[in-house]
């Protein structure tokens, strides 16, 4: 195999960088790479400058967007899907943005490829609707055989590892922080999210990996909520919380890939950077409200697109949109390791429920907590109480006789709870 790269153009300033990648692969193989596949007439062919082995094929790719790095994969791929995804509400609008979508699979993964083709397209549409655009004009999804599930997501290219049903390693993965029963599209959704978080918006150093992995984890959960409903979403939140509470004492989110390094336990990294990072985003969303949260995400994305970012950039975007200081929130949840312990007391009256939360005044956390009221007729009502002080008390008006009051039933708050 022969690989050649060269700059076509590069301009410093507000983002112009064009890179060409040419590859020659053996007969019977094909390849995918960072960039859009070009017709041979549109790029310099390796055949023009060197003698290639008999039967080899040349592929030329061009990336018109800045990339963190160039990547390619060579395998015996079969094409499963090739289509244009029209983004936006009006598919007939010729000016509507488009993404060229391709899906390839190893021979024994073709059936799986057909099954995930439509979900992959739906995921691209959903993430675009949240962020306002798709960062790259084409996306290629490749399904490859592997002993364990997972994937990798360079710019333009998403690789998803698909174990065969007979793989012995699947059983051991069922106890991993990144395994979610009832959501078979998880790895696909997670890796596609990296086109936005990790690639379009990069991370400055290993301390900031949660801006990639925590965000991809949370966006996958948002897609699960949209397509599989609240139960699947709540199940994911429960797993985020369980692993966060179990492993937070191993180090802060900000420690990045060094988490679990001394004991050679990679699950700690996934528990804290992936799952706790996602849980922190959900708590921030509940603290600010949906409008400010998603507006802040879009502002952060637009400001740091095709650049490297840090937690300080994210905090600044949310503070600008919300008009509130978030130093304590990020200090506790991203740079710290403690998990708060909240005590609560519930008083049920004729037309209201009063709930009071208390936490240590020596280290106050910002914790939005869901209080769930279940009425005698079976109806439920969720109210988010924002616990942001040593003592917080809230009276919730009721619309009937209350049978039960539950605290954090949705597992969305990273806290231990004691009832008084």
In three-state secondary structure terms, 385 is strand
* Residues forming a β-bridge with 407: 371
The span from the CA of 231 to the CA of 233, in Å, is 5
The span from the CA of 237 to the CA of 282, in Å, is 9
The span from the CA of 159 to the CA of 140, in Å, is 8
pLDDT at 178: 86
Q: Tell me the backbone φ, ψ of residue 20, rounded to 5 degrees.
A: -105, 140
Q: Tell me the backbone φ, ψ of residue 301, rounded to 5 degrees.
A: -60, -45
What pTM was estimated for this model as a whole? Answer: 0.92
Average pLDDT along the chain, 420 residues, taken 10 residues at a time:
55 64 89 88 48 78 92 94 86 82 94 95 96 95 90 96 73 79 93 98 97 98 97 97 97 95 89 98 98 97 97 98 96 98 96 98 98 97 98 97 97 97
Residues 6+ apart with CB under 8 A from 260: 250, 266, 267, 268, 269
Given the DSSP bridges, would you call strands 36-38 and 30-33 parallel, antiparallel or unpaired?
A: unpaired
**Closest listed residue to residue 398, CA positions, set 419, 420, 383:** 383
Element (DSSP H or E) covering residue 239:
helix 230-247
pLDDT at 77: 94
Domains annotated on the chain, with CATH: 1-76 (no CATH), 201-333 (1.10.390.10), 341-419 (2.60.40.1910)
Given the DSSP bridges, would you call strands 341-348 and 416-419 parallel, antiparallel or unpaired?
A: parallel
- Look at the block and give the residue holding tokens 């492993």: 247
pLDDT at 96: 82
The span from the CA of 343 to the CA of 341, in Å, is 7
Chain centre distance of CA 171: 24
Residues 6+ apart with CB under 8 A from 258: 206, 251
Residues 6+ apart with CB under 8 A from 138: 36, 99, 100, 101, 102, 156
pLDDT at 12: 42
């Amino acid at each position: 195999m022969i690989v050649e790269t060269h700059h076509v153009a590069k301009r410093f300033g507000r983002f112009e960088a064009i890179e060409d990648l040419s590859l020659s692969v053996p007969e019977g193989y094909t390849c995918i790479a960072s960039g859009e596949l070009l017709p041979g007439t549109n790029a310099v062919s390796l055949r023009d400058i060197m003698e290639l082995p008999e039967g080899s094929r040349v592929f030329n790719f061009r990336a018109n967007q800045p990339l963190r790095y160039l990547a390619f994969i060579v395998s015996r791929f079969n094409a499963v899907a090739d289509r244009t995804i029209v983004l936006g509400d009006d598919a007939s609008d010729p000016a509507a943005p488009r993404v060229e979508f391709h899906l390839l699979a190893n021979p024994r993964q073709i059936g799986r490829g057909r099954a995930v083709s439509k979900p992959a397209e739906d995921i691209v549409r959903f993430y675009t609707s949240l962020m306002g655009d798709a960062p790259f004009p084409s996306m290629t999804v490749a399904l490859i055989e592997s002993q364990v599930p997972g994937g990798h997501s360079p710019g333009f290219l998403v690789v998803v590892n698909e174990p065969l049903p007979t793989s012995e390693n699947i059983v051991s993965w069922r106890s991993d922080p990144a395994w979610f029963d009832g959501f078979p599209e998880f790895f696909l959704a997670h890796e596609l999210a990296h086109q936005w978080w990790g690639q379009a918006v990069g991370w400055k150093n290993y301390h900031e990996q949660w801006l990639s992995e925590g965000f991809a984890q949370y966006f996958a959960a948002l897609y699960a909520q949209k397509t599989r409903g609240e139960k699947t979403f709540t199940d994911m939140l429960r797993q985020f919380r369980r692993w966060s509470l179990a492993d937070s004492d191993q180090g802060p989110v900000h420690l990045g890939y060094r988490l679990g390094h001394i004991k050679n336990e990679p699950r700690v990294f996934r528990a804290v950077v992936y799952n706790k990072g996602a849980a922190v985003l959900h708590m921030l969303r509940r603290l600010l409200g949906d409008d400010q949260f998603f507006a802040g995400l879009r502002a952060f994305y637009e400001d740091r697109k095709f650049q490297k970012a840090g937690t300080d950039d994210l905090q600044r975007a949310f503070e600008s949109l919300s008009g509130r200081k978030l130093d304590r929130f990020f200090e506790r949840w991203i740079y710290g390791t403690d998990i708060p312990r909240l005590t609560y007391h519930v008083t049920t009256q004729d037309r209201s429920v009063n709930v009071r939360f208390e936490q240590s005044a020596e280290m106050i956390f910002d914790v939005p907590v869901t209080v769930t009221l279940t009425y005698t007729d079976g109806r439920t009502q969720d109210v988010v109480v924002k616990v942001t002080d040593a003592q917080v008390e809230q009276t919730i008006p009721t619309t009937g006789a209350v049978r039960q009051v539950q605290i954090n039933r949705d597992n969305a708050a990273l806290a231990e709870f004691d009832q008084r």
